[in-house]
Structure 1
Amino acid sequence: MTTKRNDRAPLATVLAANAISISGNSLTLIAVPWFALETTGSPGKAGLVAFCAALPVILSAIVGGPVIDRIGRRRVSIASDLVCALALAAIPLLNHAGVLRFWMLCALMAVTGLFHAPGETARNVLTPDLAERAGTPLSRATSFYDAVSRGARMTGAALAGLLVAFLGADTVLYIDAATFAVSALLVLIGLRGVPSAEPARGAPPLSLAVYRADLREGYSFMLRTRLLLGVNLMVMITNGLAQSWSSVLLPVHAREELGGSAALGLLVAVFGGCALAGALLYAAVGHRFPRRPVLAVGFLLCGAPVYVTAAVTDTTPPLLVVMALGGLGAGVLNPILGAVFYEIVPEGLRSRVGSASTASVLLTTPLGGLAAGYLVERVGITTTLLSLAGVYFLTTLCPLVFPSWRAMDAPHAAPAVGKAEVEVEVESEGEGKGDGEGGVSRTEPSTPVPVPGSGGTTPRR
């Protein structure tokens, strides 16, 4: 089937669906920790809720890659959003009925985590095909993708702080459920007839042997590609630290020192707004600069400084300034890492390698909130913040220390599946110079996940 050129509607659909979904995600990131703190009064239990939301994301990412292409990326995205909508709506419904127990909250958040990763991966790996279909350079499409996500996160966070303050956390969860439903509807309508969104043709039936072979192929590709492996290991650590910040440390700090959820929403919104500006700035001029130093500076800005500032101040303005600078740094991360991923990974392997990458970069997120809640209750929030700041700083030195990261600045196109192993080994050795945008280009805190951004994007929780 011939691809229709300059058809921007499918790409616009994915951007819009992610904008709506991530706006709701910002509501969840503020409403659920706040709901847990209000109903339990315990930072440790708030961390346990975060653990229950994050662990199933990893499990589904580990095993989900081979299934996505056979079921179809469009179908997986729709089903994922609908299940998450039902799970989130059930929390306030059960609470209003007076039957919600803490274990039920943990279980429902686990359901959202279990179904989130396959849907997020399904949408992410469509970006190269939809960009080509729209006639848009892929490096620019990934920057727009991240910019839209950042803008949605900023808007959602600003609304979340106010909505939680005036309507209550449980009401905000209804709104979040509605965003999932709208995202599913957009994908249902807007991606109909897009070949890359439909089930793969000509693939052998999914037997246990075929499934294991497909799963092994995705993980094997990731493990033998030194640059991709190095990126995933670094982001795995920073994602765990970011989870501790967003799910426990910042909500506790805002409640105890900054006056409540309105300050929390303002801080997250400023970070998101500046990250949006950073992503747009990188889309405009980023190709002129080598990727590795830009990435290193971005990580250094968005990591340790916010922890240190929160540890030494009990007022909002200083933290607001540091989070604004951190947001600018964070804005360049996903466009760079996304472009590197798409340059390295051939199209036929993107769902499988994307799922493997998602699983690897999210391995520490269940422990992030759990460990932060435990440490806050044992040693206090100040000591916890300073300790994690030191770990974050050392981790973000990786791009400047390890030689394999130099391959990030070498222009290359994604290899064909049959030639993947040979060509990737050459890439890993290369230290070529270029403008950082050659070939084909293509995630969360706040962090780059899952290819590597949840979205992520940051993983949706």
Structure 2
Amino acid sequence: MTFIPLSYLTSYFLSLLGNSIASIALPLVVLQTTGSVLGMGVVAGATAVPAVLAGLVMGVVIDRINRRTSSVVTDLVSGLSIAALPLIDIVSGLSIGWFVLLGILGSLGDVPGMTARDALLPAIVRHGSLSAERLMGIRETLGAVAMLVGPAAAGTLMALFGGAAVLWITGATSLLAALVTLLIPHSVGAIPAERTRSSNAWSEMRDGWRVLFRTPLLVATTLLSVASVAVLVALQGLILPVYFSLLDQRGLLGFVLTALAAGLLVGGAVYAVGSTRGRRRFWFVSGLVGTMLGIGILATLSTVWIVFSGAFIIGLASGLFSSLIGVLMIERIPEQMRGRVMGTQNSIMTAVPPLALVAAAVLTEYTTLNVAAIAIAGIWLVALVGGLFARSLRNLEPRAEPTEREDVVVARDAQ
């Protein structure tokens, strides 16, 4: 592995690790500071809408400036917004207002940060020694490691230091990620002069939406990703907590995340090693069917060990599926529109979790836990059937030229 992909992957891991720690530590700090569960909900709700809007709007910016620069800036925004919390705590004390304000500021870096890092991927492939398949497989593996290490690190740090002091460390990981990204040569993130924009921002945003919503493969993969996020969030965020609460074994909930992350680690590693062998359709079908198998097993809610097994299988299959989707995004999204297209995709994924949790809560409230779990599994069954029979997903092999529709939109964008 050469220096450029190594720097990219290191920065990606550090950024994801910081987010993983913050996702556990920040709600606990809010609760410790305000003493209010409602306060936790207020902070989460207040930052959700700005995060979605930032993902949409900042996609245009990411398509206009050097993508290494945009990745660095978004990491700095995220890191500074977190690091400011313990500083304010020392100076004047924290309140719910500070959490909301800095949470909104941080949301301006989170989704755009994901988009900027994703938009940089084709350049990393071009300038590095790794194929897109291997790069995505390794990236999924590192993401799984961050999921495994982050919660444990958050718990340990809270026990050792407690309170807002832990946020110094989470902010530092984002800042360190920005510094590592700076090691990537500036030229790697450059947008060629002939691909820069002359039209207004709103027109550029609409052109990006046209590419996303009028390209059948991008529509299909986005819908599959939405279904995946919705099902996993509903299971992890509501069904399983209620299940373990009824068993009076709440402490076991964290092990489900461990099993899922372990599966992702294995799945990402398998894809990194074996993805160049055989046709992509095999990996795609294996990921879809494997995910259905894992969800079906978990949705039975029969025993704790069955639930753990289902979570591991879901992670394993998702590692294959997510890695392949990442490769397709590298190949099929026009280079000059990656920020707008992927920014819209990431914004959609950010908006899905609260909607999925509300739907799962309604199902659980008006039926039973088992019925709700089976209904949620049914969502992925519909996605599975759609994915298997979608015409746009039958041929996933690399292609050299963009589709005619993409050519028309790109030509319009360049005018």
What TM-score, normalized by structure 1, do the two folds share?
Answer: 0.75
**CA offset digits 1:193-244 (Å, max 9, x no partner):** 333x1355245566xx432232122110111112211221232243244445
Shift of residue 150, structure 1, vs aligned partner: 1.7
Shift of residue 129, structure 1, vs aligned partner: 2.2
Q: 1:407 to 1:174 in 2, by over 3 A?
A: same
Aligned to 2:375: 390
Q: Distance in 2 between matches of 1:299 and 1:215?
A: 34
Note if 1:100 corresponds to 2:91. no
Amino acid at match of 2:263: C
Aligned to 2:310: 322
Amino acid at match of 2:158: V
SS in 2 for 1:413: coil
Shift of residue 35, structure 1, vs aligned partner: 3.9
Q: Distance in 2 between matches of 1:266 and 1:72?
A: 41
| Range moving further from structure 2, 93-102 or 114-123 | 93-102
Note if 1:128 corresponds to 2:122. yes
Question: Root-mean-square deviation (CA), in Å?
Answer: 3.6
Aligned to 2:329: 341
Q: Distance in 2 between matches of 1:177 and 1:199?
A: 29
The answer to whether the Cα contact below 8 Å between 2:136 and 2:323 also exists between their aligned partners in 1 is yes
Aligned to 1:399: 384
Note if 1:193 corresponds to 2:186. yes
The answer to whether the Cα contact below 8 Å between 2:43 and 2:103 also exists between their aligned partners in 1 is yes
SS in 2 for 1:331: helix
Aligned to 1:13: 7
Q: Distance in 1 between matches of 2:6 and 2:328?
A: 22
Q: Distance in 1 between matches of 2:3 and 2:170?
A: 25
| Range moving further from structure 2, 26-35 or 399-408 | 399-408
Shift of residue 330, structure 1, vs aligned partner: 2.1
Note if 1:148 corresponds to 2:136. no
Shift of residue 176, structure 1, vs aligned partner: 1.1
The answer to whether the Cα contact below 8 Å between 1:306 and 1:322 also exists between their aligned partners in 2 is yes
The answer to whether the Cα contact below 8 Å between 2:144 and 2:261 also exists between their aligned partners in 1 is yes
Aligned to 1:90: 84
Q: 1:194 to 1:258 in 2, by over 3 A?
A: farther
Shift of residue 245, structure 1, vs aligned partner: 5.3
Aligned to 1:220: 210
SS in 1 for 2:200: helix
SS in 2 for 1:150: helix
The answer to whether the Cα contact below 8 Å between 1:276 and 1:331 also exists between their aligned partners in 2 is yes
Q: Distance in 2 between matches of 1:210 and 1:291?
A: 41
The answer to whether the Cα contact below 8 Å between 1:48 and 1:370 also exists between their aligned partners in 2 is no
Percentage identity across paired residues of the two chains: 26
Shift of residue 163, structure 1, vs aligned partner: 3.1
Note if 1:360 corresponds to 2:341. no
Q: Distance in 2 between matches of 1:420 and 1:330?
A: 28
Q: Distance in 1 between matches of 2:296 and 2:20?
A: 22
Q: Distance in 2 between matches of 1:246 and 1:83?
A: 29
- Aligned pairs for 1:38-437 within 5 A: 46-95=40-89, 99-168=93-162, 170-188=164-182, 190-195=183-188, 197-202=189-194, 209-244=199-234, 257-258=248-249, 260=251, 265-286=254-275, 287-288=277-278, 290-301=282-293, 303=295, 305-306=297-298, 309=301, 319-368=307-356, 379=365, 383=368, 387=372, 390-401=375-386, 403-404=389-390, 407-413=393-399, 415-416=401-402, 420-421=406-407
Shift of residue 249, structure 1, vs aligned partner: 6.4
SS in 1 for 2:193: coil
Q: Distance in 2 between matches of 1:169 and 1:329?
A: 37
Shift of residue 254, structure 1, vs aligned partner: 7.1
Bigger fraction of residues in helix = 2
Q: Structure 2, unaligned stretches of length 5 or more?
A: 411-415
Q: Structure 1, unaligned stretches of length 5 or more?
A: 1-6, 425-461
Q: Distance in 2 between matches of 1:342 and 1:348?
A: 12
Q: Distance in 2 between matches of 1:86 and 1:101?
A: 18
The answer to whether the Cα contact below 8 Å between 1:218 and 1:352 also exists between their aligned partners in 2 is yes
